[in-house]
Each structure stands twice: as C-alpha cells, then as structure tokens.
Structure 1
Amino acid sequence: MKNIVALVAATALAAHGSSAHYIFQALAKGTAKGVPYEYVRRNTNYNSPVTDLSSPDLRCNVGGAHGGNTSTLDLGAGDPFTFTLDTAVYHQGPVSLYMSKAPAAAADYDGSGDWFKINDWAPVFNGGQATWTLKDTYSYTIPRCIPSGEYLLRIQSLAIHNPGATPQWYVGCGQVRVVGGSGSGSPRPTVKIPGAFKATDPGYTANIYNNFHSYTVPGPSVFTC
C-alpha cells in the first residue's frame, strides 16, 4: 500500500508540469546565496530539464555552452561554496557536483574536456525508507589538492521520480578560478559529458517506489585528495 500511495503521489507531482521544476541560478563563496547568474551561466530553456543522454546540453544546460556575460568567482583550494536554486529541488534523485579544468579562461570553455566528480548527495536508507537531500541550497568545498586554474563547477540533479518515464536532468555550471591548489596532476577518474551516463545505469533506471533498498549514483566515483 505504501508503494502504491507513493506512486500515485509521484504521478500527481508530475502533473504539475513546470511549476515543479527548478533552476540552479546562483553560486557564491561560503554559505551566501549569491546573485542569480553572476557566476552561473544563464540557461535558455527556463526551468525545463535535459533528457537526452547524448546531448552536449548535459554539460551546462541549454544555452550554457559559453560564459557570455558570466563572471568568474575566485575561490581558494579548500574554500566552501554554495549553489542556490530559484526553488528547492522537488523531485527525488541524487544531486552531484563535477569540475572540469578549462584550457584557458573558464568563460570561453564549452566543457568538452575531462570532468571529475567531487561529491554526491545520494539517498540515505533507514528503516526501509530512503531520504533524499532536497534543498534550495547545496554547499561543499573545493578540493585542496587540485591544480590552480579556471574551472567549470557543475551541479546536477537527476530526477527519477517518475518510473517508466525518461529521467530528467537539471544542470547548472558556475565559473570559478581556483587559487592555492596544491596539486600538479589531473584528478581521476574522469569522464566526458555526454558519455558519462548510460541508459542502462542502475541509478538511471531505478524504481524508487518498488523494492528500493540500495542505490548507486550514475557517473564516475568521487575524486578525493
């Protein structure tokens, strides 16, 4: 009965359409909420998700291939940062952070190079229930051991709230300049986007309302110093 109620609720939420969607629109140092689109590339699809696993829009959202008028945020290696949304993440699914080092200026970089993952907010299982991290702000820290330079800092929410339908990706890219990094090599493992996610990934096809007791977030393992 519990699973049936959850599935009915998920169907009702899906019917809300765009009202249940959200945009990663601000990035700031520390725990500040930041100014929308000051350091985050502005997307052009309003709050619609990306659903095509082969699309370059998976990198930085529709319209986010280049920096345009986006500024680049200075962060020290080990500094905290916060992404803020226009409304809290509403759909169940993991939230992940990725970085990709730009060959020169982050504003000119399209994200076609290598990406590494620095954090996952995966579900927490307790007493047969899964709890997702659904918030309007997500804070983390820049790894201390990465090389200094300019990066795209990417956040993604994978919405798997509607089993049987195509999962949805909500993505935003910030531009950051990392100073004081102690690393001289390249973080590993790395992936290309698109290419990092497959339609057969268990975390992509999971039914969160039926026999849901474990979960593996799609993509590479998290890089640690």
Structure 2
Amino acid sequence: MFPFSYSALSGLLLATAVAAHGLVSTIDVDGTTYQGYPAFNPVNNPQRIIRAMYNNGPITDVASLAIACNGKNEPAALVANVTAGSFITYTWGSWPKGHTGPITNYMASCGDDCRTFNASNGNWFKIDETGYDSSTKLWATDKLFTNSLKYSVMIPQGIPSGQYLVRHEILALHATNAPQYYPSCIQVQVNGGTGSLSSIASSDFTTFPGAYNPSDPGYKFNIYYPPYTSYPIEGPQPIYAASNLANSTSPSNSMNPTNSTTPTTSSLLPSSTSSDTPGSSPSVRFCRPLKLGPG
C-alpha cells in the first residue's frame, strides 16, 4: 500500500470542492461566440461581454451588491449586438448534479452605455424562468445536463432597441435555508426592438439587491422532504406571461429553442440521488470557491 499523506487528502478534498461549482464558459449571441470564464485575469484578459467574476463560488447574501451580477459589479469592455426575438445560448463549463434548482433570466436597460452602468441601479424585469417540469419530474438543472450544459433564452421582441444587461442565474437549493445563487451578466445592444418598457407593469420590475428575501418561500424551500407539488420561483413572473408585451413572443423552450414545449415552473418530487435523510434538512456542503483573479 502506498502511503497517503494528510496533505494529499486535503488536496483531493479541495479539488472535489472546486469541481462542485460552475461558471458560464461561452455565450453565443447572433452567431458570435464570446468567451466567459474562468480566466487568469478576469477583468482585462481578454476583453469580454460578461462582467467579471473572481471565483466560481455562490452568492449567499441576497442583500449584497454581488447578487446583481456576481463579482465586484465591474462593467465589461464589450457590448454584443443581438436581434430582438433571437436566442442567446449560455454554455456552462461544469455544474454538479447535486446542486438542484431553477434557472432564471432578467434584463435591465443600461441607458446610454452598459460599460458605465451600475447593475445595482437597474430596473430589472424577468424574461424567462424554468423551475420544475411535473410531466418529466425534472428541474431546470436536470435539463441542463441533458442539453450538454447549454441554456437558451429569447430576447423579447417587444422591448425597445438599446443597451441592456442580461442576467442569467442558476439557484442551487441542495442546502435547505442556505440557497446558493450563481448569477452572471452580459452586456448587449438590442437591435430591432418594437416596443416600450412602459408597457411592462411596475410590479414586474425589481432590483438587485431587493428581488430576493430570506422570508421568500422559494428561499426556504426544502427539496428533500416533505413531498411537494410546486416550487415558488423567486422574483416577478416573466414579462411574456405577465404583461402581454406588444409583439413579444413566449420562448419556445429555454433549454432548446428548436423544441416547442413551453418551460414550466411546476415542482419535483424529492431527488432519489440525494444522500440526505428524508425529514431532515441537509447541512451546507463545504464547497470552497476557486479564485480566478485579484480581489
């Protein structure tokens, strides 16, 4: 038998913990693929449309400024052109199967220039959400695996042209009462928009921080026990469902735009892959984030 040192064990545990998180690795926008993360120097090398993130760990404080776009809310150098009504496709570099939960997407107008816009000042509206599909008993994160870690979201047709932040987020619910948020924001110039933001009801706008609260049923949700029939996704409902935005089209399928099935937000029975005992709340996993740059 080969000797097994404590340092080797520590390294193995650290590697396992690092692998237990994820970042968006690429973003496809109007036929152009943009690089996501990780990166040795997230801010300057190379220039990106995605705002900088310094590690692959979650945001756990919903009152923090980082809940808006992760990292330190530093604008990116580039703005991608996107046609209203087209899809943006995110590809995640990795995602742990035990980190179960919904996926949501928001937008906020940047005004004149996203490269100088503070995300915490944004008036955000939700454009897409996928929770749990009761017909297949799969969460959004389960479908992410079957779709090669890709998630596509439609840019609404019924919003005005201009610069926007698009906020893409996975929420991991594996640790009851300690949800883990993985947001990221890209900067886009929407072209061909045919509507007005005034068409969106004021109740369908929100802020980050401000959209989520520890008292929310979706924040406190136990995915293990007792059995449930629905999951209350946090935040407002998507504008295509809420406001009948002029000329806006409901996304055909967030996971695969060629599929005609509308995403659902119904609920999932407890996961059979969980190692936690039904009836007890799982402890918070010891997942140490991987640092990607200064900060």
- SS of alignment partner, residue 219 of structure 2: helix
Conservation of the 8 A alpha-carbon contact between 1:106 and 1:150: yes
Say yes or no: does 1:155 pair with 2:197: no
Say yes or no: does 1:180 pair with 2:192: yes
Say yes or no: does 1:58 pair with 2:76: no
* 1:28 Cα deviation from its structure 2 partner: 1.7
- SS of alignment partner, residue 214 of structure 1: coil
- SS of alignment partner, residue 209 of structure 1: coil
RMSD, matched Cα? 2.0
Deviations 1:49-95 (A, max 9, x none): 100011010010022x12243x1110111111111211136410110
- The one-letter amino acid paired with 2:84 is A
Aligned to 1:145: 158
* 1:130 Cα deviation from its structure 2 partner: 3.4
Percent of residue pairs identical: 33
**In structure 1, C-alpha distance between the alignment counterparts of 2:129 and 2:173, rounded to whole Å:** 15
Conservation of the 8 A alpha-carbon contact between 1:203 and 1:218: yes
Change in Cα spacing, 1:197 to 1:83, as seen in structure 2 (3 Å) is: same
Greater Rg, structure 1 or structure 2? 2
The 5 A counterparts of 1:57-206 are 57-63=66-72, 65-69=73-77, 71-88=78-95, 90=97, 91-111=99-119, 112-126=121-135, 130-134=137-141, 135=144, 136-164=149-177, 166-186=178-198, 187-188=200-201, 189-206=204-221
Deviations 1:105-163 (A, max 9, x none): 1111111120000000111124xx83112222110111000011000000011111122
Aligned to 2:265: none
Aligned to 1:215: 231
Structure number with the higher strand fraction is: 1
Deviations 1:171-213 (A, max 9, x none): 1100000011111233331001111111111111111111222
* 1:36 Cα deviation from its structure 2 partner: 2.4
**In structure 1, C-alpha distance between the alignment counterparts of 2:209 and 2:183, rounded to whole Å:** 13
Relative to structure 2, which stretch is displaced further, 137-146 or 33-42?
Answer: 33-42
* 1:167 Cα deviation from its structure 2 partner: 0.7
Count residues in correspondence.
205
Conservation of the 8 A alpha-carbon contact between 1:30 and 1:82: no
Tell me the TM-score normalized by structure 2: 0.65
**In structure 2, C-alpha distance between the alignment counterparts of 1:160 and 1:23, rounded to whole Å:** 17
Change in Cα spacing, 1:32 to 1:138, as seen in structure 2 (3 Å) is: farther
**Structure 1 segments of 4 or more deviating over 4 A?**
30-33
Aligned to 2:289: none
